[in-house]
Structure 1
């Protein structure tokens, strides 16, 4: 049994002093006791928090960061960005994907994330031919997570069509494409790769435009365990196309045609009516918000105030990874609401610390979306923990909720000191334990990709 002592820690009931935490052999929290001396056998930190779960990642897209900023002849939008992403795909083989994912996961850990849900759809060879192991590429994602120590929920993505109504996939999508049956076989082939006790496995219909109702029914009947994630209502064009196809908006159609509950995470859900917003909140599903990616792609602003006023659950992810900073996602989520409503502290209730409210909600929603027992410093939970540097400029002299308000609204990844994932010490003094080796491999990979 290992021990960790924090001078100040955020517990479910609030801030506590001199908190002694014992971990069991699997990496779960065995006990939490406040007002305790550290003892000689405990590691000590100043500020300890539950670590966030990153609920939405396309790891390979980290390699695209900064490469899609040249404006074309017409208006740039999500759809033109998607074409640039398709053009990059043929360069990525298993080795490249593993190197990119390992670099990303180290960066995520350094910013305060202890786990990630990988929405994995780059399944096949460039011409669409499956690998001998259907789960070859999924296995490389798992290998990257295991080598970096980041917790993983793997979400093999079902992508069978290129638009509403069941149109055939085009050349740029061949690496994603599977029939529902083959995707389910791929999911089972991925299961043996997931060997850690805290690994998770779910399923992700890519979007309503990428699966037909019949495809979705087959997938949901078979997926009896793990979380279910889906992209939805990210773009106005998607909403218009769904209306033309079905007479209903995407979130409306999904709520009417699937049993949406706490297993589900609806990614983006940017464009909803007030009725859709209320119904999604009431369903118990998680809204998966990716503020930096949604800003980068010009998606729009999530109806956060109305959704949270209705009791909706949400968490954050970094999606295409133009940025990889946990605090920044929370900050931009709140700031987007301020710009939209022309008010301050929109997502906190009266008398609440904005930073604490944001962190607690993101912790709960992220853990739910991951299907992971995390997000709380409490007995039985995975020891997904982050300590902050009390000597950092923005944290000096701060106590209690001031710490979170300062980190989220004035700080960044440089405030993060140490990170543990299921008890694994993966970041020390702000750097991932294997950063140099991971960065060297990533550097060689990028030089090859950009020739």
Structure 2
């Protein structure tokens, strides 16, 4: 039990050795100071702010050349083919495997950007929330906290073209989409938050945006949107709407701290300062952005403008917050030929700086009070392996840097969500059962 565990905790006010006492809701009731020399290092759990769970089962399947100019757009063809095979049962099995892996890696919360709503031909299931419920069930079984983000997807391009046959299972009329939101909102609890996602500017017609935002007025939905991920998208938006995507959004929507802009890779200087001024968060997914060849986010300029960011594993070619953070920093180093890009005068340690942004931005993107070990906060935390060579002799201030940058051996020993231990000795408590079901499902899908 977490209540009996002496921990060396990183709290908002610094490091302290304490036993966390939890209440019946899974929140920290108090931190009882202790001088126990055996206390292990504990960090707040990490929010994963962008996930397409079904794509975990595609990892490694798109790594052979089909076109000398392979890009996101050719990868998307495989994604469409694979998505067309899924039903609620297979989605649940894939998502449960993914969420167990996330917990083992140190993620304790996931923002699930969900657009597989209907049957493959676009016909709604008898229960129109069937695919959403599959994801909720997966999160419950794995024990991860979730912000479910049902996606509004209406058109196949900036020109308003109808959805292709392969896209029809993604689509909703606005009224049907709002009805789905209402259904899912009734399922909310401490472990489940429901938000809103616009797939992209190309998938939500310009004339629909005002009606959608009016329908959301007065609600506290977190709002997520893919934006400026590829150069082609930027060029198409300029041609169709006379402005770059982020510029258009800032000028035509009440973008504020409720909003999370996913990727936002290709930005002008004015867009960088505009996002920062709006208080919106950006969700960065470095391993997926690298895998798809999308480009590098202008991190240093964004931080200098006061911008907020979080991380997501998106297509799940990697399920590791360490790898996301490491490659966020390393990409900047390669581009600038400098080191320690994400550091600041206030937080010179790069690992700690990256983690603090991730915790703060993740809480904002999730619409929940996450990423803090303090009284009243969710008892969502990771305990690091005291026997890991990478942590040998570590002092408090060195732990975040070693966690992020010291090799590839996983350092998470235990993971707690709401005070409940779901990972022990680096293994999810249902790892074998979940993995067997996932393997059976994947073999069936790939044999078709």
Give the shorter-chain TM-score range: over 0.9
1:167 to 156, 161, 167: 161
Local SS of the residue matching 2:389:
coil
2:52 to 40, 54, 58: 58
Alpha-carbon distance in structure 2 between the residues aligned to 1:193 and 1:283: 31
Contact 2:2 2:420 in 1 (8 A): no
Superposed displacement of residue 104, structure 1: 0.2
Once the two structures are superposed, residues 167-204 of structure 1 have per-residue CA deviations (whole angstroms, 9 ceiling, x without a partner) of 1111121110111111111122223444x423100000
Alpha-carbon distance in structure 2 between the residues aligned to 1:222 and 1:332: 39
Partner of 1:132 in structure 2?
126
Superposed displacement of residue 328, structure 1: 0.7
Report whether the alignment pairs 1:143 with 2:142.
no
Alpha-carbon distance in structure 1 between the residues aligned to 2:255 and 2:352: 28
Alpha-carbon distance in structure 1 between the residues aligned to 2:29 and 2:318: 35
Alpha-carbon distance in structure 1 between the residues aligned to 2:235 and 2:4: 53
Residue ranges of structure 2 left out of the alignment (5+ in a row): none
2:81 to 78, 87, 94: 87
2:341 to 325, 346, 355: 346
Report whether the alignment pairs 1:15 with 2:11.
no
Partner of 1:440 in structure 2?
436
Given the superposition, is the C-alpha separation of residues 175 and 181 from structure 1 closer, same or farther in structure 2, using an over 3 Å criterion? Answer: same
Partner of 2:377 in structure 1?
381
Superposed displacement of residue 36, structure 1: 5.1
Partner of 1:155 in structure 2?
149
Once the two structures are superposed, residues 288-321 of structure 1 have per-residue CA deviations (whole angstroms, 9 ceiling, x without a partner) of 0001000000010001000011111100000000
Alpha-carbon distance in structure 2 between the residues aligned to 1:81 and 1:357: 33
Contact 2:128 2:180 in 1 (8 A): yes
Local SS of the residue matching 1:414:
coil
What are the equivalent positions in structure 2 for 1:274-423 lying under 5 Å apart? Answer: 274-350=269-345, 352-412=348-408, 414-423=410-419
Once the two structures are superposed, residues 20-49 of structure 1 have per-residue CA deviations (whole angstroms, 9 ceiling, x without a partner) of 2111100011112434559xxxxx851111
Local SS of the residue matching 2:121:
coil
Alpha-carbon distance in structure 2 between the residues aligned to 1:170 and 1:352: 49
Local SS of the residue matching 1:208:
coil
Once the two structures are superposed, residues 216-263 of structure 1 have per-residue CA deviations (whole angstroms, 9 ceiling, x without a partner) of 222222222220000000000000000000110000000000011100
Residue ranges of structure 1 left out of the alignment (5+ in a row): 39-43
Local SS of the residue matching 2:332:
helix
Deviates more, 1:171-180 or 1:344-353: 344-353
Contact 1:374 1:383 in 2 (8 A): no
Once the two structures are superposed, residues 27-83 of structure 1 have per-residue CA deviations (whole angstroms, 9 ceiling, x without a partner) of 011112434559xxxxx8511110110000000000100111121133100000011
Superposed displacement of residue 19, structure 1: 1.4
Superposed displacement of residue 7, structure 1: 4.1
Alpha-carbon distance in structure 2 between the residues aligned to 1:186 and 1:57: 20
Partner of 2:183 in structure 1?
189
Alpha-carbon distance in structure 2 between the residues aligned to 1:6 and 1:254: 48
Query: TM-score, length-normalised on structure 2?
Result: 0.96
Query: TM-score, length-normalised on structure 1?
Result: 0.96
1:221 to 202, 214, 227: 214
Superposed displacement of residue 214, structure 1: 2.2
Contact 1:123 1:135 in 2 (8 A): yes
Alpha-carbon distance in structure 1 between the residues aligned to 2:10 and 2:43: 5
Given the superposition, is the C-alpha separation of residues 419 and 283 from structure 1 closer, same or farther in structure 2, using an over 3 Å criterion? Answer: same
Report whether the alignment pairs 1:30 with 2:26.
no
Partner of 1:41 in structure 2?
none
Contact 2:6 2:34 in 1 (8 A): no
Once the two structures are superposed, residues 93-138 of structure 1 have per-residue CA deviations (whole angstroms, 9 ceiling, x without a partner) of 1110000000000000000000100000000001000001111000
Contact 1:45 1:387 in 2 (8 A): no
Contact 1:135 1:187 in 2 (8 A): no
1:249 to 221, 244, 266: 244
Root-mean-square deviation (Å): 1.5
Partner of 1:267 in structure 2?
262
Alpha-carbon distance in structure 1 between the residues aligned to 2:4 and 2:148: 29
Local SS of the residue matching 1:26:
coil
Report whether the alignment pairs 1:233 with 2:228.
yes
Once the two structures are superposed, residues 119-172 of structure 1 have per-residue CA deviations (whole angstroms, 9 ceiling, x without a partner) of 000000010000011110000000000011100000000000011131111112
Contact 2:144 2:191 in 1 (8 A): no
Alpha-carbon distance in structure 2 between the residues aligned to 1:394 and 1:36: 24
Once the two structures are superposed, residues 260-284 of structure 1 have per-residue CA deviations (whole angstroms, 9 ceiling, x without a partner) of 1100000000000011001101111
Alpha-carbon distance in structure 2 between the residues aligned to 1:392 and 1:220: 49
Contact 1:105 1:150 in 2 (8 A): yes
Alpha-carbon distance in structure 2 between the residues aligned to 1:57 and 1:401: 31
Contact 2:2 2:421 in 1 (8 A): no
